[in-house]
Structure 1
Amino acid sequence: MSAILSADDLNDFISPGVACIKPIETLPAPPPPTDDNGVGLEHEVILDGPGAPQAAATSAEPTQISLTDCLACSGCVTSAEAVLVSLQSHSELLTVLDGAPGLRIEKDEATGKFSVLGLEHPEARLFVASVSPQTRASLAAATGRGVREQDAGNMISQLLSGEAGLRAGGKWNNAFSWVVDTNTAREACLVLGAEEVLAGETAPGAAKKPILSSSCPGWVCYAEKTHPYVLPHISRVKSPQALMGTLLKTSLSRILGISPDRIWHLAVMPCFDKKLEASREELTDSVWGGDGKPGRGVRDVDCVITSKEILMLAESRGLDFFSQSRTAVPATQQAPFPDATLSRFLFPPRSKRQTDPAAGTSGGNLHYILNHISTQHAGSRIETVRGRNADVVEFSVIAASGEPIFKAARYYGFRNIQNLVRKLKPARQSRMPGARPMGGARKPAGKSSGLEFAYVEVMACPGGCTNGGGQVKVDDPIIIERSGLSAKPDLQEQKYWLAQVDEAYFSADDADGETTAGSSGDIVCGISPLYIRDTLTHWAGVTGIELDRLVSTSYREVVSDVGKNKPSDTERVVQLAGKIGGGW
């Protein structure tokens, strides 16, 4: 279990009686072992790491529950998932790196063709990583004032692929062939999201208005398990992490002619829930390489570690992250990416930077959509109205005539999300003859939901993704040691720390944040939709896969028993007997 998670951290712990039904669902099972007195020994799920209970030598084999199983479980909500994210950790990363020599890419300069060396070893992998801007901002703030996000990004790249990083140790001196910026995938997600909002509900499988953003996995899991009636409203566009994973696995496997399981993709993210997203069956090669249906295939993202775990990764190799070089890894130390068009997209001449605080710290989905719509209506303006707190904001695009063209909102934090889903709850029809609908949306007849918005940006963390659960925190020992803050920081110190992270997130030189390729009339928030669309079309052509299958995802209701009335012991026996072919 990752050292940053322990049983003591699970303040939402669900008691074993309602927590995990997986051992029960796998009946029939062999008779449990007994001790010398004939007393049965129960199964137990073992948590490794500090503070974990130690199994007795005579106990039964621990029940094996994978992270994917947990997402499909009908009993757990959060605690078991929090424990099982230890299956994706910096320790697992090091285990894979040390498991076999890495694959190497070689280009024949005469023919321009690429070949893969090392395939004779069945466990050899091609290592590639993607890093989020929120992670870079968190580590920039941890490094010290004046350190920009780009500086921290170079330090991460040096750790993952530089000569003085992971490559300097381990059994095989393995490192990552490429370290890419998820901001490039973010730009594609912004363009796809705007197209989705403007397309309406006519396309098959399209999301219903109001469309709710889908890049926050904590919010998606919450909706799937507790409020399935909002699933038709959630955007079908993949998150930047998921889209980047699909792009890397599909393009590299098809161009290089190797199996996708020979490519090992690490994502560095600000949020523990991103580990849950990576385990979704909707984000595997069974969707893009199979029959288009979710299944237990090769994951697009093999492992997710958080900002905090980057520091632990360096420490595990005996390295000081803060002493890593702030200069970019020389091009001579990196393998060429085997497609020129995708290489220009993944490794642009200038870094992609979010420099407008109005976009927020969660990728800027709503900000881009508002500006995209505003540019289509000459003389229009964007108006902002703050809601009941700082994490609820309403936006309107107002035409030159004063008429509203488009309405949207931002809801951050679970307390605000609860109010959002309550407004979307469908009205319940009374059984009394002639009675009006009960509860649900408080809107006039003809309204499809209780919200007048066309789009809502939803994030589980108050303040957005720079405040993610996997970020370096102000009360972490390394920050207390380096910053001189108190061991138990007060509210003001916490706000000061988050302000530093946000400052790093929006940091940029004049040369940073340049627009993508495209005509001057084609630019929205520094992004060229035409260039993005051409790149996506090229990607689909290279892989031979329909673009919609590459960029879209789906959701499903996860039936949960938590909070419901539990059957009696007799009823449970009858249910279990039925499942194993018995009866009464």
Structure 2
Amino acid sequence: MSAILSADDLNDFISPGVACIKPVETLPAAKPAAENDSYEVSFNTDQPLPSDLPPAQISLTDCLACSGCVTSAEAVLVSLQSHAEVLQELDSAPGLRLRGNPSGTGIGIENLDTGGRIYVASVSPQTRASIAVTFGVTEREAGYMIEQLLSGPKGIKNRAVYRNAFQWVVDTNVAREACLVLGADEVMESMTDGPKPSNEAEDGAAMKQPKKPILTSSCPGWICYAEKTHPHVLPHLSRLKSPQALMGTLLKTTLSRKLGISPDRIWHVAIMPCFDKKLEASREELTDAVWEGTGTRGVRDVDSVITSKELLMLAESRRVDFSTLPRTPLSSRIPFPDPKLDSFLFPRTRRHGNGKPEAGSSGGNLHYILQYFASQHDGASIQTTRGRNADVVEYTVTSSTGEILLKTARYYGFRNIQNLVRKLKPVKPSRMPGGKPIGSARRPGGKPSGPDYAYVEVMACPGGCTNGGGQIKVDDPVVTGREGSEVKPGPLEQKAWLAQVDEAYFSGEDSGKEDEIQDNRDDMVDGISPAYIKDTLEHWAATTGIDLGRLVYTSYREVVSDVGKKPGDTERVIEIAGKIGGGW
């Protein structure tokens, strides 16, 4: 699911998978036809659909409601969120104009009656690393160039109809820090003695405390895979939102409350390394219906997602030469409406870089948990054991006496993930008299032999998020044109290119200055103060009047559908489509 998907590269995008209900549901009314002229969704390319059928209209939410869309159908869905959509939104109406004083209080809004919106963008560190290598700049300079493109006078607004630009461009690293602290608490809670909150699903969705081993949930490709094919792992998934989702919730809740406007007047785009992040943004669990408690389809916390490669397409569409953009920060900006959250989102100095190489390129969830756990035990040390390949690594935290206190692992890539979920599969009794249990192997003591990890960091892309499908590749024209080579780069060149991106990612160093807010705190773990993060999150909840649990946690559900399991049963397809409405 991490491969680059584009409708332009397909020739079968109007032939969805047999389990896809939406094309049948959205067929226009047709004239009465003969009995042998019925519509049928089929993989048989020798018998194409009637030529007068329009292309299937499928939304991203519909895709997540289905359990068997083919890759080409997902490609069409993903293409709905693109740089073209961003430009269309910016040119739809005059944007809301903010005016305020330097203290960040008393901010007013102009153009409320025009139908425009406030535009906000969030940028991932993996995207900055990809841009840095492409244009030969530092990771920090790449961030400045992106900010200049989205908000600066020489950026996309210079040729816009209404000269709309993004009011704020934020770094998802600040949301990542919150996810790291909350994730460590989640693991520590799972290891405490005493009764645990129930982890049973409520109506197939909400979970309270995940089972051990806790599996990361920030990779949408992995989540979609688990929900569709391995529902037995859902009770193990961390309930935390991803940094992208958490940032979207923070922006929408705070701005709507502080400015007194509806969430749909705030438009948030995230720039990510992965196409699957578009699927995550479409989840109904990540809308204002959840934190407002309305229980109806709501406004997305992240309205659109574009990838690193699409960011360059955004600049090209407005005839902006990305390489010539200033490599310095904007001269000024309007403060975020809440002063404390303003200092959190836009610190005067960088509190923390992108992490160390041993933390990996996917946010460092596992690394932070190991560091946090070791800090709670005097004399503890961390040992690393490589698995069957470079994308499988086991970690143990041992005491000064050699006792194993914590065992964790990292699994990257779907091939390795399949081995993990196979080990987690529950044992089923054999139907044969005296037969051995089916599923996980059994130890002599009668216990499952599945992994005894407390936590596992799972990512769909081999190598982590810097290798996401939306990243700029070594054979992209922007790279090959610069080098002037007529030979198309191969796998070895791409591997070397990825090594450069990783180097740029980990070079996202601290500023070298002490952050004024976290200065002299004695609870620092890997450059992050848990007390500061928790205090900020509590302030956020108090400011919005929303329970913190509804703000930072989400839920998952098994995606069940028997559509298409009886090929040719058109009536059955239409019946199910009517029942579930094409969505969750």
TM-score for the superposition, normalised by structure 2: 0.88
Structure 1 partner of 2:83: 90
Q: Quick check: 1:556 aligned with 2:557?
A: yes
Equivalent residues in 2 for 1:23-38 (5 A)? 23-25=23-25, 30-32=29-31
Structure 2 partner of 1:126: 118
Aligned equivalents of 2:444, 2:561: Cα separation in 1 = 33
Aligned equivalents of 2:6, 2:493: Cα separation in 1 = 25
User: What one-letter code is carried by the residue in structure 2 that aligns with 1:195?
Assistant: D
SS of residue matched to 2:163: coil
Q: Deviations over 1:42-94 (max 9, x none)?
A: 6999xxxxxxxxx99x9355443211111112431543222211111000000
Aligned equivalents of 1:572, 1:42: Cα separation in 2 = 8
Q: Quick check: 1:279 aligned with 2:271?
A: no
> By how many angstroms is 1:432 displaced?
3.7
Q: Deviations over 1:423-476 (max 9, x none)?
A: 001111113455442222545657577111000000000000000000000110
Structure 2 partner of 1:256: 259
Structure 2 partner of 1:304: 305
Aligned equivalents of 2:449, 2:485: Cα separation in 1 = 47
Structure 2 partner of 1:345: 344
Assess if the C-alpha contact under 8 Å between 1:33 and 1:60 holds in 2. no
Q: Deviations over 1:315-366 (max 9, x none)?
A: 00000111111101112xx221110000010001112412411111000000
The partner residue of 2:197 within 196, 199, 203 is 203
SS of residue matched to 2:279: helix
Assess if the C-alpha contact under 8 Å between 1:165 and 1:319 holds in 2. yes
The partner residue of 1:155 within 145, 155, 163 is 145
Aligned equivalents of 2:81, 2:457: Cα separation in 1 = 28
Equivalent residues in 2 for 1:174-213 (5 A)? 174-200=164-190, 202-204=196-198, 205-213=208-216
Aligned equivalents of 2:550, 2:402: Cα separation in 1 = 40
User: What one-letter code is carried by the residue in structure 2 that aligns with 1:469?
Assistant: G
Aligned equivalents of 1:513, 1:69: Cα separation in 2 = 48
Assess if the C-alpha contact under 8 Å between 1:230 and 1:421 holds in 2. yes
Aligned equivalents of 1:43, 1:568: Cα separation in 2 = 8
User: What one-letter code is carried by the residue in structure 1 that aligns with 2:110?
Assistant: L
Aligned equivalents of 1:258, 1:580: Cα separation in 2 = 35
TM-score for the superposition, normalised by structure 1: 0.88
Show structure 2 runs of 5+ residues with no match. Answer: 43-48, 199-207, 580-584
Equivalent residues in 2 for 1:372-411 (5 A)? 372-411=372-411
Q: Deviations over 1:154-195 (max 9, x none)?
A: 000000000110121111000000000000000000000000
1:76–1:445 CA distance, 2 compared to 1 (3 A): farther
> By how many angstroms is 1:148 displaced?
1.2
Assess if the C-alpha contact under 8 Å between 2:17 and 2:69 holds in 1. no
The partner residue of 2:226 within 223, 244, 266 is 223
Aligned equivalents of 2:511, 2:576: Cα separation in 1 = 67
User: What one-letter code is carried by the residue in structure 2 that aligns with 1:265?
Assistant: H
Assess if the C-alpha contact under 8 Å between 2:524 and 2:530 holds in 1. yes
Aligned equivalents of 1:260, 1:466: Cα separation in 2 = 31
User: What one-letter code is carried by the residue in structure 2 that aligns with 1:92?
Assistant: E
> By how many angstroms is 1:112 displaced?
3.3
Structure 1 partner of 2:74: 81
SS of residue matched to 1:221: helix
> By how many angstroms is 1:199 displaced?
0.8
Assess if the C-alpha contact under 8 Å between 1:33 and 1:40 holds in 2. no
- After superposing the two structures, state which structure 1 stretch, 259-268 or 58-67, moved more: 58-67
1:41–1:433 CA distance, 2 compared to 1 (3 A): closer
Aligned equivalents of 2:68, 2:104: Cα separation in 1 = 57
Structure 2 partner of 1:50: none
Structure 1 partner of 2:494: 494
Structure 1 partner of 2:455: 455
Q: Quick check: 1:140 aligned with 2:132?
A: yes
Assess if the C-alpha contact under 8 Å between 1:209 and 1:455 holds in 2. yes
Aligned equivalents of 1:410, 1:41: Cα separation in 2 = 50
> By how many angstroms is 1:573 displaced?
4.4
User: What one-letter code is carried by the residue in structure 2 that aligns with 1:194?
Assistant: A
User: What one-letter code is carried by the residue in structure 2 that aligns with 1:75?
Assistant: G
Assess if the C-alpha contact under 8 Å between 2:287 and 2:300 holds in 1. yes
Show structure 1 runs of 5+ residues with no match. Answer: 46-54
SS of residue matched to 1:304: strand
Q: Percent identity?
A: 63
Greater RCO structure (CA 8 Å; 6+ sep)? 2
Assess if the C-alpha contact under 8 Å between 2:81 and 2:306 holds in 1. yes
Assess if the C-alpha contact under 8 Å between 2:83 and 2:313 holds in 1. yes
Assess if the C-alpha contact under 8 Å between 1:44 and 1:63 holds in 2. no
1:128–1:510 CA distance, 2 compared to 1 (3 A): closer
User: What one-letter code is carried by the residue in structure 2 that aligns with 1:311?
Assistant: L
SS of residue matched to 1:437: coil
Aligned equivalents of 1:476, 1:452: Cα separation in 2 = 43
Equivalent residues in 2 for 1:555-574 (5 A)? 555-560=556-561, 566-567=565-566, 569=568, 573=571
> By how many angstroms is 1:489 displaced?
1.5
Aligned equivalents of 1:395, 1:195: Cα separation in 2 = 18
Aligned equivalents of 2:432, 2:14: Cα separation in 1 = 39
Aligned equivalents of 1:11, 1:520: Cα separation in 2 = 58
Aligned equivalents of 1:440, 1:198: Cα separation in 2 = 27
Aligned equivalents of 1:12, 1:556: Cα separation in 2 = 30
Structure 1 partner of 2:466: 466
> By how many angstroms is 1:19 displaced?
5.2
Assess if the C-alpha contact under 8 Å between 1:44 and 1:62 holds in 2. no
Assess if the C-alpha contact under 8 Å between 1:425 and 1:449 holds in 2. no
> By how many angstroms is 1:6 displaced?
3.6
Assess if the C-alpha contact under 8 Å between 1:424 and 1:441 holds in 2. no
1:429–1:13 CA distance, 2 compared to 1 (3 A): farther
1:525–1:579 CA distance, 2 compared to 1 (3 A): closer
> By how many angstroms is 1:519 displaced?
4.4
User: What one-letter code is carried by the residue in structure 2 that aligns with 1:151?
Assistant: E
- After superposing the two structures, state which structure 1 stretch, 60-69 or 380-389, moved more: 60-69
SS of residue matched to 2:211: coil
Assess if the C-alpha contact under 8 Å between 2:396 and 2:405 holds in 1. yes
Equivalent residues in 2 for 1:235-246 (5 A)? 235-246=238-249
Q: Deviations over 1:490-547 (max 9, x none)?
A: 3321111011101110114562596661644200010000000000000000000000
SS of residue matched to 2:108: strand
